[in-house]
Amino acid sequence: MRSLVLMAVMTMAAGAGSLAQGPPQAPGAGRGGGQPVQPIQMVKPGLYVVPGGGSNSIVRVTPDGVILVDTKLPGAANYDGLLAQIRTVTPQPVKVVIVTHHHADHTGNNDRFIAAGAEVIGHAALASNLDTYQFDPRPAKPTTTYDRERTVRLGGVEVRILHLGRAHTGGDSVVYFPDVKVVATSDAVTTGVTGPLVDYAGGGSAVEWTPVLDAMLKLDFDTAIPGAGPVLTKADVLAFRGKFSTVVDRAAALVRAGVANDQLLMQIKTDDIGWTPRIPQVDALVAELSKRP
């Protein structure tokens, strides 16, 4: 039986604080974060993804400017590389930037876009998380924050920014492009064998994650762009939801059975799941599972 031994090793090696407070550790490990900015790819007419540089950046082209989702790891190389890719599809400037959670692989170049005159939008909890975020350089805060939902309109295009609840962090945003039926999930949906990270220090929740996915699946979309990794279908998101819910249910059953905290990760069956969720703060997981109905 495959277990979550890897998760326990990661916890002991990195320490709960460092793993939860940084962007996903080794952000390039199997997910493109260690790569330079990659060539832009069209997802739908007018909507593109730029992989590499820490995370997927989504580019929505309008006649009046670009709406950009996520700014990659900090540094001139990533910023310049991202702009160079955008210029291959439009001469329009970036007018609005949406950042989907506080980790630096998504917010690292906020300061550069702000200096260039863009509005940067993020959830209020994202801004609060940056106050204590242990990363150097610490990303700049959004210039605009929201609570539950915010709609951006630019050049005849409407984009909805949604906070559906706590999942990867407490300040997660899902970005919905209704006209092309695309949703940007950020790290509420992940790909590959290195599975989702519950960042408890950043307000994340394993228990509330599945309801976030349920709310996301109610949106009318056929294409999903995760925080990193390949473009997905709605069926892929539904499959991810099933895996995540299964892991949480199994962990909850072990907690109810009285399994000790230091044994919990090693006893969760995962050989049929295909990835290992990262939970660096086991005590926090047990605490919220103990309150679960």
CATH of the domain at 112: 3.60.15.10
- What is the per-residue pLDDT for 103? 98
| Interstrand relation of 182-186 and 223-226 (parallel, antiparallel or unpaired) | parallel
User: Domain limits at 210?
Assistant: 5-290
Classify burial at 181, counting beta carbons within 10 Å of its beta carbon; exposed 0-12, middle 13-18, buried 19 or more.
middle
Phi, psi of 253 (to 5 degrees): -65, -40
Model pLDDT for residues 121-163, shown as the tens digit of each residue: 999 999 999 999 999 999 999 999 999 999 999 999 999 999 9
Instruction: Supply the DSSP symbol for 32.
Output: S
The pTM (predicted TM-score) of the whole model is 0.89
Round to whole Å and give the CA distance between 265 and 221: 35
Query: How many domains, the chain?
Result: 1
List of residues 6+ apart from 281 with CB closer than 8 A: 11, 16, 20, 198, 200, 201
Model pLDDT for residues 53-108, shown as the tens digit of each residue: 999 999 999 999 999 999 999 999 999 999 999 999 999 999 999 999 999 999 99
Model pLDDT for residues 189-198, shown as the tens digit of each residue: 999 877 789 9
